[in-house]
Each structure stands twice: as C-alpha cells, then as structure tokens.
C-alpha cells in the first residue's frame, strides 16, 4: 500500500511539532525517518496512526485521502504500528495480547481462544518467530515482546507497518533478526516506515531516507550517503559523533560493590549478587538491555532501594547503612534516569531545583540550625552555574518544566557536580536528549573523571557505552555477565547482553557477524579509500 | 517465504535461571500458625475435666436425622491442639525449604482452629452449638459483602476505584424497601434496587472520568451524601407515612427440591431467597466472563494499560463508564438484602460499613471473583460466630469477637496476605 503525507502540520499550543511534512512511502519499501530526539518523528507517526488529528494537510492511502478518528480507523485502513514503548499488557498472555480489540468470539461474547491461538501460531510460524502463545508478556525478553507487537500488527493485515525506534531495546543480534524480518515483510509487499535516530541502522536497512529536523523535512536521501553526511543533515551542523577523550589514568580502587542483591517489590531478584570495582579516574559503564537490573543497582547505590544482601564500599566506608542524605554528604553525585519524575520537580524554579539537595547547608541556609533559606545566595549560585553549564532558559526564576529536556538535564548535572564528589553515578543520563546535549553530558562526565572521580554510568545504548567507557560491565537478568575492555567488538557485547558468557560470546561472534557489523566494515573501507 | 530468522536462545531460557538462593525466608505465616497453635494448646489446657461440648448438625426436613454430637471437651481439645501444632511445624519446615504450600494449609488450619475454639467455648455450657444456624448466618451476612465485592471488582478491573460501595448498598437497600412497600411486593424492590446503585455509580464515573476528580474523594463524598440523603428521607417522608413508604416486605424463601434436603449443606445453601440464587449465578458468570469473554479481556486491558487498549481501538472511557454503572447495579441489588432480603423495613445507616468490608474482601480475594467470595465468607463467618457465641454465652466477651472482621480487614488491606497486585491503572484517569 502506498502511504502519502501532504503538508501535515501538528501544533501543540504555540509549539509546532510537525511543520508541513510531505512524504511518500511506496509499496514494498523500507522508508527510514531519521531525526534526533525531539525532532517530531513520534508525533508524525501518532498522527498517521490516528492518535492525533493533524491541524493541516492530508494523509493518503493508495491516492485516496483518509481521515482517522482513532487508532481503530487507522488499523481498519491497514496501518499497523509498533510503538517505542510497547503497547502490551504485562499480565496478559501472548494470545490475549494479539486478540485484544479483535477477539474471535463464540456465542455470548465468550472468546474463541483456540482460534486466537492458532492465528498467533500461524503468523509466528510464517516468519519463524518462535513465540509461545501461552507465555505471559512480562516473562518474555523484550526482543520477543517486540515480535508479539509485530504479530499483533500483522494479524490485522497491516499493509503499512510503522516501527517507532524499534532497535532501542534490542541487542545487536536481536536487531539483526529484526532487520531480516523487515526484509521478509518488504518482500511480501508490506510498506515499512522505520523511525530511528541511529545512523548505522538506517544505512543497513533503508531503501530511502527522509531526514526531519525541528518538525520539518530537511532532506531526502538514499543509504549511499555516509554517516557524516546523514549526521550533518539530522543535526543541522557538522557533528563529531564520538567525544574526544584522553585515555584514562586509573588510580586505586575507591568504589566497590560486593555481593549486592536487590529484590523487586514483587520479591523477584532483580540485582543478583553483583560485584563491581571502580578505580579513581575511571568510567565504568554498565551496559545491557533496559530492565535487566541496572536501574535497581543504581538506586541501591543511592539508597532509595534497600538491598537484602551485600556491601557498598566507598573508600573503605560502607554506604549500606547510611541514609540517602548521608550518602550525598559522603560525596555521591547521582543523576537519575527519569529526569522529569526523579531528577527535577517540574513546578519548582530553576534555582529551587538547583539547590534541591543542598538547601539546608551553608551557604544556602543560615540562622540557628540552618532554618533560614538564603534566597539571594541560591539565586546567584544558580545563575553562575547555569552560565557555566550553558543552560538555555528565560530566567532562573522560571519553572524548570519550561526548559527543554537537555537544559533540564544540564541543571541536574550542575547541581550534582557543584559538590565535591568522591563518586559519580548516572543512570541513562542522555536518554531522550538531542545530539548537542548528549555531547555536553558526555564531556561533563569525562571532565569529572579527569578530576579523579570514579564514575558509574548506566547506559542501554551500546554507542554511548563504547564512546564513554573505560571499561564495560554487561548486565543481564540482574547479574554481571562480564566486565570487558572498551575495545571489545559490538557483536561480542551484544551476545553478552543476551546472557552469553564472554568466552562463548567471542567464539560465536567470530563465526557469525551481524549485518550491522558487516555494514560498519564496508563503511570503514569506503572512508579509507 | 520459507526463510526463517535465526533466533538467539534467549526466548527458551526460563525460570531455570533463577536466583542463587538469596531471597530471605518469610517467617510471617509459620509464626502466625505457631501463635494460633499455642492458643489452641491453651484451650486444651483450660478445658474442664470431664466437660462435654454439644454440636447440632441437623435441621428439619433433612433426608435423615443427625443426632446431636457430643464431644468430651478435654480429649478433643488435646487432639485438635496436637494437630494444630503439627501443622505449624510443617509450615516452618516448608518455609525453611522455601517450598510453597497450597491453599489447603490455611483452610484446614482455620477450620481446626475454629473447632478447637468452639470445643473450648461450648464446654459444659449446657447449651448446644447450632452449627447449621451458624453457617446459615454466615452466608446471610456474606450476601451484601459478596455483591459489594463483585461491584468493586468490576469497577477496579476497569481502572476506577470505587469506595462508594457503601453508598451503593445503602441506596439499594433504601430503594428496595420503598419500591417493595409502595407496590406491596418484595419482587418490585428487587427490580428497583439496582437502579439506585447504578445511579450512584453514574455520579462516581461522571466525576472521575469526565472531570478526572480524584476517585477516592468522589467516593468518600458519595458515601456521606447517600447516608445523609437516605437518613433525611427516612426521618421525613418514610417516618410520616410508614404504611405507604416503609412497610416490611420479605422475599420468600424458595427451597430447591432435593438439594435443600441434604444435611448441613442443604439448608445453608439451597433454602434461600431468589437474591441468594442470583448471587450464585452472578459470581459464576463474572468468573467466566472476566477471564474468557471479549468484555472481560477488554475490561482488564482498560484497567491494566488504557493506552494499549486505546491503540487497538477500544474506547477506554466508554468502557469504564459502562462498567462502573453496571457494577453500581450489582451493589444496589446486594443492598436490597438489608431490607427485603431479611424482611426488614429501612433503617438509618443500616448497611453499617458492609461496603468497606466488601472492599477489603475484594482486596483479600485479589480482584478475583472466587477469591473475593471466599474472603467475604470468612468475614461473614466471623461475624456469625460472634453472634452465636453471644447467644450461648462464652468466656470471651462477644463484643471482642464482633471486632474480628475488622481486625481481619486491617491485616488484609495491609498486605499481610502476601504481595497483592491491583490492576496497574487502577485509579488513574485516562487522558489522551
């Protein structure tokens, strides 16, 4: 089916998320939509999928203008979508998830589970998905959950399939499988819209590429363009995709975690007997697919999650019995993974957010027992730091929610780094940020490292891990699969992210290259020519 | 199309990769059993020597007569205490090995403990403990709780917290009494009572879905409103002309032939009013429909992850509106038990907190119809036990026993019964 957008515009208040976007996806084509975080890709796709109504412009399917009142209409017209955050219900089985909304029923609305199950098996068999129709969604690895989403779309005869950042949660090997699946679908006539901000994947997968920036189309190109060209188009200036850094000069081990075990509220083991050592002036990146216990590990280090066993040692002082406040006072700097809910208080001003963990100590507080806030001091400090961290804002008195994500994150970094740190921990510090802010965050972390602070960074993006780390610890299902140097290949890391131990991963990777790593080699060869 | 994707072995890996035995052992249950077993031992020790306890199992119209059972109190107490201690020891062993025990252990333990208590309480009283009466009372007291719990369950499964069950029961009781009185026909009361509950449900869902008002607050306000409104109408219209508005009407008992003649169970379960039979049907139907029908699947989807439901074309808010109003009807019907179900005229605040106990039963039953019924029966039984003991006179003040359901409620709601997992989107308004 041919999908065509003509001058689609979508505004939220005074903000124009999509500005007269025109785009044609031919039948049997993989069309990549490339753009950085916040460029308006997801808004555009939600408009196509009927979740938003466009303010201007029209959507055409096979040259017929269509308009959707909701996702139900879009699905009926043959559009399927795999959302970045899966639209799956954790407590449902695979069959229930696929059937939802389109249930085969017998008399009195009782579901025909047999028919629903066979449908799952049929589609899953057609593409070799190997998905158990009776498994519960929450028990499945994310790769399998994504396949369930694809089955869902295909079971409704999707002729246009939208994949929103589908590789964000996958290991390189799983990404490989996804690429194969996309190829199969294209060959069977499905049009695919592939949304991403990852340049390598675009070049390996797409037939055509549309680049959008700040809500508008800035160019259409083919996968023949080099990564540097694509990056320039996407960001609007020349960018260096890797942050330059000196080799680490690691000192003594100053931070270590020994036998740390953390349970989830449902009493499942989420961090399983983890041992880590980090030296002064070293960045240890904890890599792994999201949801393998990294967040809980970081939270246990901060102290907002109580471990059931293990020790957390900072320069021979056990942090485990200390409260969060005591840990911060001991020199822990922490950047939480969810900026908007854990990093800042949206309704508070930039100044208030800046002093959030220092408001009751000198120089920000005074008087007997430090009861009085010294507002002018706070304001001045916030002002100075905001300039140093290049925070773009109206004023330090504006609510922080009026700032962009990147600028909010800079305030968080400014706050955490304004104290003398003995340990820096950040959980996915660049999630959802634009390229410029990512560069800034990376540079800041590296500066902190060069000051001799041990740094622990949780990252689910392999690119970031390879870019930032001095050593990489790979986590899978709560355990550390292995700690490897940064020279380790993506293929090996990818296998480790799926739980394969280091030696085995090396052997497997030697015999089987992923398409992406092959594409990388070709790209390198091209550039060396 | 024969090409298949090579799948990495991740999907095949399952619970085998389980933790290395670091999970702390939960001693909560074994300790509880141990305390109760020791209590059983104290009963055995304080039973009077040569005392006797009498139980009546029979009722009129059984197939055959069961004579009054006479137990020697002290030996019976010892036997029961020994079994209780053995079960507690077994619970400790299971916990130490991190093994799971089924539902049979708490059930068996509970029944034996109650027996031990009854043997002790009834020893040498000269009175006979009427088991059938006690069980009939338990079921009767459970009826509004079960209806209320089913109401809460349908609402919360679709994501709307309903703490106005109390109001819905009371409104149902009121309208049932009035309608039955005006038409001088109890069945008309039965017909009208769901309307009252549904109306309360409609107000709740109107404010919580249309205006996204905090659902707890709306619920509290509705409770106060309905208590006030029915109280006002009771002391004005109903008191001025009770002959028209508030005469007693009772649903007749409809014994089911043969089934009602089974000893013990027959009179308890099958010699009831149509309201109780409706309850059996309701629970069975809900249990099937919630888990196996299109309506149930969509309801659960809307309560777990409304956005996911929206992306497959389910109208989330419409679903919530229908379900909460339907649930209100269920509670309204249950409320009719207080008046026409028992042959009583309407009285101020006659639901007396049953709506809140129903809410606790729903939580204790983990949002599952069968579980909620079991929990409601537990509450009903403990109240009934208190009533019977008050009648025959016991060493324990009966007021203390009447606290039992509320104590159980606190433990239930505090999560003593294990990690409970409410529907994920429970109480969260859905805004696109």
CATH of the domain at A165: 3.40.50.300
**Mutate which of A68, A85, A87 to test chain B, going by most B C-beta atoms within 10 A?**
A87
Domain count, chain A: 2
Contact list in A for residue B293 (CB cut-off 8 A) is: 105, 108-111
Q: CB of B2 within 8 Å of any CB in chain A?
A: no
What is the b/e burial string over A410-443, where b = at least 16 CB atoms within 10 angstroms of the residue's CB? Answer: bbbbbbbbbeebbbbbbbbbbbebbbebbbbbbe
- pLDDT at residue B301 in the model: 96
- B13 to chain A nearest CA, in Å? 9
- Domain membership flag for residue A375: yes
- Domain membership flag for residue A29: yes
A156 plus A285 within the same structural domain: no
Confidence of residue B1 (pLDDT cuts 50, 70, 90): very low
Per the CB < 8 Å rule, is A263 touching B419? no
Per the CB < 8 Å rule, is B23 touching A83? no
Identity of the residue in B5, B9, B19 whose CB atom sits nearest the CB atom of A127: B5
Mean pLDDT within B260-283: 90
Q: CB of B319 within 8 Å of any CB in chain A?
A: no
Structure tokens at B120: 């002790």
Would the pLDDT of B310 be above 80?
yes
- pLDDT at residue B9 in the model: 38
Radius of gyration for chain B, computed over Cα atoms and rounded to the nearest angstrom: 25
- Domain membership flag for residue A248: no
Would the pLDDT of A307 be above 80?
yes
A221 plus A265 within the same structural domain: no
A28 plus A164 within the same structural domain: yes
Per the CB < 8 Å rule, is A181 touching B5? yes
A106 plus A63 within the same structural domain: yes
Average pLDDT over chain A, rounded to an integer: 90
Mean pLDDT within A400-414: 91
Would the pLDDT of B238 be above 60?
yes
A485 plus A375 within the same structural domain: yes
- Domain membership flag for residue A243: no
A215 plus A342 within the same structural domain: no
Confidence of residue B24 (pLDDT cuts 50, 70, 90): low
In Å, what is the CA distance from B78 to each residue of B33, B83, B126? Answer: 17, 9, 21
Mean pLDDT within B399-404: 75
- pLDDT at residue B17 in the model: 42
Q: How many CB pairs under 8 A join A and B?
A: 143
- pLDDT at residue B19 in the model: 45
Would the pLDDT of A477 be above 70?
yes
- B157 to chain A nearest CA, in Å? 13
Give the Cα-Cα-Cα angle A242, A389, A247 (nearest 5 degrees).
35
A177 plus A131 within the same structural domain: yes
A341 plus A484 within the same structural domain: yes
- B285 to chain A nearest CA, in Å? 11
Residue A299 or A239, more confident: A299
pLDDT-wise least confident of A125-129, B145-149, B202-206, B208-212:
A125-129
Q: What CA–CA distance (Å, rounded) separates B305 from A206? A: 32
A190 plus A279 within the same structural domain: no
B366 Cβ contact partners less than 8 Å away, ≥ 6 residues apart: B420, B421
Residue B162 or A108, more confident: B162
- B311 to chain A nearest CA, in Å? 5
Per the CB < 8 Å rule, is A100 touching B14? no
- A509 to chain B nearest CA, in Å? 12
Per the CB < 8 Å rule, is A273 touching B23? no
With a pLDDT cut of 90, the percent of chain B lying above it is: 51
Summarised one tens digit per residue, pLDDT across range A47-103 is 999 888 999 999 999 999 999 988 889 999 999 999 988 999 999 999 999 999 899
State the residue range of the domain holding A164. Answer: 3-235
- pLDDT at residue B415 in the model: 59
- Domain membership flag for residue A242: no
Would the pLDDT of B5 be above 60?
no
- Domain membership flag for residue A274: yes
A208 plus A287 within the same structural domain: no
- Domain membership flag for residue A421: yes
Q: What CA–CA distance (Å, rounded) separates B121 from A357? A: 61
- B310 to chain A nearest CA, in Å? 7
A300 plus A184 within the same structural domain: no
Per the CB < 8 Å rule, is A141 touching B11? yes
Q: CB of B302 within 8 Å of any CB in chain A?
A: no
Cβ count within 10 A of residue B83: 18
pLDDT-wise least confident of A290-294, B94-98, B347-351:
B94-98
Contacts with B, A 211-270, CB within 8 Å: 261, 263, 265-267, 269
Q: CB of B20 within 8 Å of any CB in chain A?
A: yes
Domain boundary among A171, A204, A235: A235
- Tell me the torsion sign for CA atoms A368, A372, A378, A380: negative
Residue A109: which region, alpha, beta or left (left: phi > 0; alpha: psi -120 to 50)? left
- Domain membership flag for residue A354: yes
Would the pLDDT of B13 be above 60?
no
Residue A237 or A19, more confident: A19
Per the CB < 8 Å rule, is A308 touching B24? yes
Q: CB of A93 within 8 Å of any CB in chain B?
A: no
Confidence of residue B413 (pLDDT cuts 50, 70, 90): low
Q: CB of A398 within 8 Å of any CB in chain B?
A: no
Domains and CATH numbers, chain B: 28-126 (no CATH), 136-413 (1.10.3470)
3-state DSSP call for residue B237? helix
Extended strands (E) in A296-371: 309-314, 317-318, 332-335, 365-366
Would the pLDDT of B16 be above 70?
no
A207 plus A302 within the same structural domain: no
């Amino acid at each position: 089916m041919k999908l065509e957008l003509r001058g689609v515009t979508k505004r939220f208040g005074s903000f124009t998320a999509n500005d007269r976007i025109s785009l044609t996806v031919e039948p049997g084509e993989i069309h990549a939509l490339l753009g950085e975080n916040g460029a308006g890709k997801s808004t555009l796709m939600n408009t196509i999928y009927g979740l938003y109504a466009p303010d201007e412009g029209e959507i055409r399917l096979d040259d017929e203008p269509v308009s959707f009142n909701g996702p139900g209409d879009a699905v009926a017209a043959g559009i399927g979508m795999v959302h970045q955050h899966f639209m799956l219900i954790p407590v449902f089985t695979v069959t229930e998830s696929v059937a939802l909304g389109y249930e085969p029923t017998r008399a009195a609305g009782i579901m025909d589970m047999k028919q629903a199950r066979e449908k799952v098996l049929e589609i899953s068999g057609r593409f070799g998905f190997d998905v158990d129709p009776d498994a519960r969604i929450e028990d499945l690895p994310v790769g399998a959950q994504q396949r369930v989403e694809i089955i869902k779309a295909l079971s409704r005869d999707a002729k246009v399939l939208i994949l929103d950042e589908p590789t964000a949660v996958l290991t390189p090997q799983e990404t490989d499988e996804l690429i194969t699946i996309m190829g199969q679908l294209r060959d069977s006539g499905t049009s695919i819209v592939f949304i991403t901000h990852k340049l390598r994947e675009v070049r390996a997968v797409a037939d055509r590429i549309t680049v959008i920036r700040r809500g508008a189309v800035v160019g259409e190109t083919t996968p023949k363009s080099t990564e540097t060209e694509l990056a320039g188009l996407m960001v609007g200036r020349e960018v260096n995709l890797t942050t330059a850094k000196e080799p680490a000069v690691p000192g003594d081990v100053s931070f270590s975690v020994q036998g740390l075990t953390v349970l989830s509220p449902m009493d499942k083991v989420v961090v399983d007997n983890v041992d880590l050592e980090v030296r002064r002036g070293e960045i240890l990146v904890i890599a792994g697919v999201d949801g393998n216990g990294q967040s809980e590990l970081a939270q246990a280090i901060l102290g907002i999650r109580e471990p059931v066993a293990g020790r957390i040692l900072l320069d021979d002082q056990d942090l485990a019995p200390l409260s969060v406040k005591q840990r911060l006072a001991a020199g822990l700097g922490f950047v939480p993974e969810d900026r908007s809910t854990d990093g800042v208080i949206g309704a508070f001003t930039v100044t208030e957010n800046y002093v959030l963990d220092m408001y009751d100590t000198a120089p920000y507080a005074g008087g007997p027992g430090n009861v009085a806030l010294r507002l002018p001091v706070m304001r001045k400090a916030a002002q100075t730091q905001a300039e140093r961290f290049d925070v773009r804002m109206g004023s330090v008195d504006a609510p922080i929610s009026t700032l962009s994500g990147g600028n909010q994150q800079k305030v968080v970094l400014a706050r955490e780094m304004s104290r003398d740190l003995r340990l820096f921990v950040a959980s996915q510090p660049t999630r959802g940020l634009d390229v410029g802010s990512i560069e800034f965050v990376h540079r800041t972390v590296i500066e902190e490292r060069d000051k001799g602070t041990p740094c622990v960074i949780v990252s689910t993006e392999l690119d970031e891990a390879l870019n930032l780390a001095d050593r990489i610890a790979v986590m899978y299902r709560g355990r550390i699969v292995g700690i490897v140097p940064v020279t380790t290949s993506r293929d090996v890391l990818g296998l480790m992210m799926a739980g394969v131990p280091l030696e085995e991963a090396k052997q497997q990777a030697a015999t089987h290259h992923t398409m992406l790593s092959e594409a990388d080699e070709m790209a390198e060869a091209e550039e060396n020519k | 199309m024969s090409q298949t994707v090579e799948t990495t072995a991740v999907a095949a890996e399952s619970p085998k990769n389980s933790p290395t035995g670091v999970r702390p052992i939960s001693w909560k249950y074994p300790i509880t059993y141990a305390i109760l077993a020791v209590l059983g031992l104290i009963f055995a020790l304080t039973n009077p020597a040569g005392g006797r306890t009498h139980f009546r199992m029979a009722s009129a119209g059984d197939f055959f007569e069961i004579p009054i059972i006479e137990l020697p109190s002290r030996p019976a107490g010892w036997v029961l205490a020994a079994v209780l201690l053995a079960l507690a020891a077994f619970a400790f062993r299971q916990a130490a090995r991190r093994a799971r025990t089924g539902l049979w252990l708490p059930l068996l333990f509970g029944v034996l403990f109650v027996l031990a208590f009854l043997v002790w309480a009834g020893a040498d009283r000269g009175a006979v403990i009427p088991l059938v009466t006690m069980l009939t009372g338990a079921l009767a007291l459970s009826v509004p709780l079960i209806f209320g719990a089913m109401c809460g369950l349908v609402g919360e499964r679709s994501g709307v917290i309903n703490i106005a069950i109390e109001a819905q029961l009371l409104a149902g009781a009121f309208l049932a009494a009035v309608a039955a009185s005006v038409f001088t026909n109890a069945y008309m009361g039965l017909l009208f009572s769901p309307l009252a509950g549904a109306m309360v449900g409609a107000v709740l869902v109107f404010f919580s879905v249309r205006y996204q008002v905090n659902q707890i607050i709306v619920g509290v306000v509705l409770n106060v409103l309905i208590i006030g409104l029915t109280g006002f109408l009771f002391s004005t219209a109903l008191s001025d002309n009770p002959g028209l508005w508030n005469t007693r009407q009772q649903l007749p008992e409809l014994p089911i032939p043969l089934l009602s003649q089974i000893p013990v169970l027959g009179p308890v379960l099958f010699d009831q009013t149509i309201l109780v039979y409706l309850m059996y049907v309701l629970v069975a139907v809900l249990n099937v429909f919630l888990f196996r029908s299109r309506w149930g699947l969509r309801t659960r989807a809307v309560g777990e992850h409304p956005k996911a439901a929206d992306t497959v074309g389910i109208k989330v808010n419409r679903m919530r509106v229908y379900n909460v109003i339907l649930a209100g009807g269920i509670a309204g019907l249950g409320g009719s038990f207080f008046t026409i179900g028992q042959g009583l005229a309407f009285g101020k605040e006659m639901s007396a907190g049953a709506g809140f106990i129903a809410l606790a039963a729903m939580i204790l039953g983990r949002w599952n119809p069968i579980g909620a019924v079991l929990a409601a029966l537990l509450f009903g039984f403990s109240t009934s036990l208190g009533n019977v003991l008050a009648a025959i006179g016991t060493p324990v003040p009966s007021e203390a026993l009447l606290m039992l359901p509320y104590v159980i409620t606190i433990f239930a709601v505090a999560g003593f019964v294990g990690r409970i997992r409410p529907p994920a989107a429970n109480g969260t308004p859905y805004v696109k």
